[in-house]
Amino acid sequence: MKAISEVTEVPAGSTVVLKCGSNDFNHNFLFWILNNNTIIGPGNTYNEKKFKYEVLSGKLHIHNVAPTEAGYYQCISKHVDGSSLSVGEVEMIVQSPTFSGGDAIKVAAIIISLLVIIICAVVYYRLKREWNQYEHPVEADEDDEKPDGEEIYNRTTTAISQPVPGPSRNPSSEHLIYGIDNEGLDTDFNSVFENIQIKSPSLI
């Protein structure tokens, strides 16, 4: 058994293609062994969405590589006459996302700056609004009462009508013109005068 080693580095989350170094004109591809515990090849059960192999070339496709999948991958091929096996070993190194401690500090600083800006903007808006209300309270009240004042003026002017000429409606004037409205008052002055003469003959 002949082993052929190869090292490849891939970024996390990418799709990588591992070449089978043991497959050539004198050897036919059989299967892949992943970290000495998983077999990918004809007649074996594996995650077909994650892994895919080519029968003729023996290439192995791995989708969405994760850091936990780093390790040694062995491609097993058999000599055409069946006399020997050949192993091509590939060490896959998965690079983690390039996010260092300094980057984390920068991101935190940006977030804090944005929060400070938002808070300052809110405080400024509220202070400005309160200051405007404190500085111009009378004008605001006049603006609010202006429609009501106009309405009162219109109602007053429309309600007043011109007086109709004619006799006065004053009760005292009516008494002077038409006399006192008293049924108990005797208006027969002749009889009254006669009664006075009868009662007081000495006055004649």
pLDDT tens-place string over residues 153-180: 455 555 455 555 555 555 554 444 445 4
Distance of alpha carbon 32 from alpha carbon 16, whole angstroms? 15
Distance of alpha carbon 23 from alpha carbon 31, whole angstroms? 11
pLDDT score at 177:
47
pLDDT score at 59:
93
Q: Which of 76, 107, 137 is the last residue of a domain?
A: 137
40 with 90, same domain? Answer: yes
Distance of alpha carbon 16 from alpha carbon 63, whole angstroms? 7
Residue 83, in any domain of the structure? yes
| pLDDT band for position 83 (cuts 50, 70, 90) | confident
Residues spanned by the domain of 104: 99-137
Q: Which of 78, 95, 112 is the last residue of a domain?
A: 95
| Residue 153 exposed, middle or buried by CB count within 10 Å (0-12, 13-18, 19+) | exposed
| pLDDT band for position 204 (cuts 50, 70, 90) | very low
Residues 6+ positions from 140 with CB-CB distance below 8 Å: 133
Tens digit of pLDDT for each residue in 101-112? 666 788 888 999
126 with 72, same domain? Answer: no
SS3 of residue 115 by DSSP: helix
pLDDT score at 203:
47
pLDDT score at 121:
92
Whether the predicted pLDDT of 188 surpasses 70: no
Residue 198, in any domain of the structure? no
Taking CB atoms within 8 Å and a gap of at least 24, the contacts of 198-201 are: none
Distance of alpha carbon 36 from alpha carbon 33, whole angstroms? 6
What CATH number is attached to the domain comprising 53? 2.60.40.10
Of residues 125 and 196, more confidence is placed in 125
pLDDT score at 171:
52
Tell me what percent of the residues of the chain surpass a pLDDT of 90. Answer: 24
Tens digit of pLDDT for each residue in 27-80? 999 999 988 788 998 888 888 899 999 988 899 999 999 888 899 999 999 988
Counted domains in the chain: 2
46 with 73, same domain? Answer: yes
| 5-9, 11-15, 109-113, 139-143: least confident range | 139-143
107 with 69, same domain? Answer: no
SS3 of residue 81 by DSSP: coil
27 with 46, same domain? Answer: yes
Q: Are 51 and 61 in contact (CB under 8 A)?
A: yes
pLDDT score at 96:
80
The kind and range of the H/E element at 192 are helix 189-199
